[in-house]
Amino acid sequence: MKNLFAPWRLEFITGKRPEGCVFCKLPAEAGRSRENLVLHVGEKAFVVMNRYPYTAGHLLVIPLRHTSDFASLTGEENSEISELLQRSLRVLGEIYRPDGFNLGMNLGAAAGAGIREHLHWHVVPRWYGDTNFLPVLADTRSVPELLIQSYDRLRPNFEAVPGPGGGAGPEMEARPKGDRGS
């Protein structure tokens, strides 16, 4: 059986598909940040929660400029994206205390990009044992927290975390396997 309660997916399955690029629309709707799960909007890039996460706390860092061409990013865009990736690691480390992270992007449909027309980086917190029998045997993932609960936990801390130079988050290697910290 592959049934898992995930009510937030009903909107994706039955809802009307928006026209245009969803990543361009999200930061423009400033009054709907919570509804859109937008955690931070900068000058060149923004951070949003993944609406269909791999794990709790799965974030996306996205340039504001619409592009699918990584090589076209300016120095300013690269700099802000890098800073937001670091900030995302710090916030997720503080809130979720993961044992590690997956950090990366898929360029093009052949590489697995679900939204291939707009660059976006995935920041996925990982824990020892998070790949258990569900994804391995049942091709099903379990996300233990509602998206809006995750948003409400992350948002206040997101703006409070310092910018560049504040470290990239908890030292993953320093924590013994299975130790969640205090």
Domains belonging to the chain, first-starting first, are 13-160 (3.30.428.10)
Q: Which residue has the tokens 């706390």?
A: 57
Strands annotated E in the chain: 38-41, 45-49, 59-63, 100-104, 121-126
Question: For 135-140, what is the mean pLDDT?
Answer: 46
Q: Is 179 helix (H, G, I), strand (E, B) or coil?
A: coil
Percent of the chain at pLDDT > 90 equals 34
Rg (CA), the chain: 17
Q: What pLDDT, on the 0 to 100 scale, is given for residue 97?
A: 94
Residue 1 CB partners (closer than 8 Å, separation 6+): 138
Range in 32-46, 63-77, 162-176 with the lowest mean pLDDT = 162-176
Distance CA 58, CA 84 (A): 14
Question: For 24-48, what is the mean pLDDT?
Answer: 90
Q: What pLDDT, on the 0 to 100 scale, is given for residue 1?
A: 41
Residues 88, 98 contacting (CB under 8 angstroms): no
Angle at 108 between CA 104 and CA 109, to 5 degrees: 110
Active site residue 66: no
| Spatial CA neighbour of 36 closest among 45, 44, 24 | 24
pLDDT over 90 at 151, yes or no: no
Query: Residue 97, exposed/middle/buried by CB under 10 A (0-12, 13-18, 19+)?
Result: middle
Backbone angles phi, psi at 179, to 5 degrees: -80, 120
Backbone angles phi, psi at 148, to 5 degrees: -65, -30
Exactly one of 40, 66, 118, 120 is catalytic; name it: 120
Q: Where are the alpha helices (DSSP H) in 9-109?
A: 9-14, 22-28, 33-36, 75-96
